[in-house]
Structure 1
C-alpha cells in the first residue's frame, strides 16, 4: 500500500491526471450521455449499447464517494512521505483533508439524496468519473501527507487566504445547488410525454451563463 503512489508511480499518475483536460474539446462535439442527454430521454429507440444505463442517483453517490475514500486512504498511508508518518490531528494538512471530506459529503451524500430524481446515466459516465476521482483523491491525499504542508502553516497568510477562498467557493456551490434543486422539484413528474422536464437556472452567478 505504501508503495502504491510513491516515486515514479506518483509521477506517472500525476501525468495521467494532467491529461484529463485534453478531453474537454470532445464535449464541444459530443454530448455526455447523462442528465438531459441520457439515452433514456431520446425520442428514437436506443441501440443496444445505449441501453447500458444505471440509476442516476445511486451511480452518482458511488462515483463521488471514490474521491474522499481514495484521499483518506492515501493520506493515512502517506506513500510519498519519507518517514511514512501521518501528520498529527492538529496540523494544517489535516484541516485541508477535513475540508475535502466536508465538500464531498455534501456532493456525494447530501445533494443527491435531496434531489427528487435524476435521469439514468450511461455506464460509461460513472466509470469515467470514478477513474478521475480515484486519481484526484489519491494524488491529493498523497501530496497532503508528503510533508509539503509544514506544521507552521497556521502562521501563513496565504494558507488562511486559501481556506477563505475554499469556504467561499463551497458556499457558492451549495447556494447554486439549491437553485438546481428547486428546478428539479418544480419539474418533478416530467412533461406530458412522461419524459423529465428540464429548466434553465437563473440568479447569482448563473446570470453570466444562462
Structure 2
C-alpha cells in the first residue's frame, strides 16, 4: 500500500496524467463529430452489438470519478481548508447524483456499448485523479469574488441539470405508456435548446474551474466536457429534426440563441 501511495503522490505521475488528460479533448471532439457515442438513443449503432446493462454500466463508469477523486484527496492528506472542503463537496455531490441518484430515478436506460463503457472509465480515472490531487494540494481564500461567482455558476448548473433530467424522466414515463418511444420535450430551457442538460453540465464545470482560479485539470475538464457533449448535442438536435417534422425551428442545439 505504501508503494501505491508513493507512486500516486509522485509529481511525475501527476504531470504525466495531466499531460495525457490534456490530449483527450483534442481526440474526443473530432471523433465525436463523425461518430455517435453508442449510448442512449444511439445505443447499438456502432458495429457489433456488445452492450452492458444501461443502469449498471452507467453507475460503474460514473462512480470511477468520485472514487479516484476521493482516493487522491485521502492519500494526499490536505489540511481541509474551507476552499478544499467546498470544492471536494461539489465534486462528490455532482457525481453522487450522476452515478447513483440519476440511474435510480431513470425509468429506463438504454444498453451501454462496451466501447463507451471502457472509454468513460479511462476518462474518469484521469479526471478524478488529476482534479483530486490538485484540490488536495492547493488552497486559497474563499473570500474572493471569483470563487463565489464560480460556485454560484456551479450551483445553477447543478440545479438546472437535475431539473431538466426530471422533465425527461416524466416524458419517458408518458411515452412508455403510449405508442411512440420518443416525444418532443418541453419546459425550461427545452424551449430554447435540444440539450439543456448538456448546457447545464457545462455550466457546472465552468463554474468549478472559475472557483479554482487556476487549476489546469479543472479547465481541461471544461474542454473535455465541451468536446464530449457539444458534438452529441449537434447529433441529437439533428435527430430530433429528422424524427419530428414539427420540431421547433427556433431551438438551437445546446447554447440558447447561439449554437
Match of 1:111 among 88, 102, 109: 102
SS in 1 for 2:7: coil
- Counterpart residue number, 1:33: 38
TM-score (normalizing by structure 2): 0.67
- Is contact 1:183-1:199 (8 Å) kept? yes
Match of 1:179 among 167, 174, 182: 167
- Counterpart residue number, 2:112: 121
- Counterpart residue number, 1:167: 155
User: Matches of 2:132 and 2:32 in 1, distance apart?
Assistant: 29
- Is contact 1:61-1:109 (8 Å) kept? yes
TM-score (normalizing by structure 1): 0.82
> Aligned in 2, Cα 1:145/1:169: closer, same or farther, shift over 3 Å?
same
SS in 1 for 2:55: helix
- Is contact 2:69-2:129 (8 Å) kept? yes
- Counterpart residue number, 1:208: 192
Cα RMSD (Å) = 2.0
Larger Rg: 1
Q: Is the aligned partner of 1:149 residue 2:139?
A: yes
SS in 2 for 1:3: helix
User: Matches of 2:108 and 2:125 in 1, distance apart?
Assistant: 26
Q: By percentage of residues, which structure has more helix?
A: 2
User: Matches of 2:123 and 2:178 in 1, distance apart?
Assistant: 32
For 1:118-170, what per-residue CA distance to the aligned partner results, in whole angstroms no more than 9, with x for missing partners? 11111111111111111111111000011x213xx132222222211111111
Q: Is the aligned partner of 1:12 residue 2:12?
A: no
Q: Is the aligned partner of 1:58 residue 2:50?
A: no
User: Matches of 1:157 and 1:101 in 2, distance apart?
Assistant: 23
Task: List 4+ stretches of structure 1 deviating above 6 A.
Answer: none
Matches within 5 A, 1:44-123: 50-78=48-76, 85-88=77-80, 90-123=81-114
- How many residues were matched structurally? 189
Distance apart, 1:188 and its partner CA: 2.1
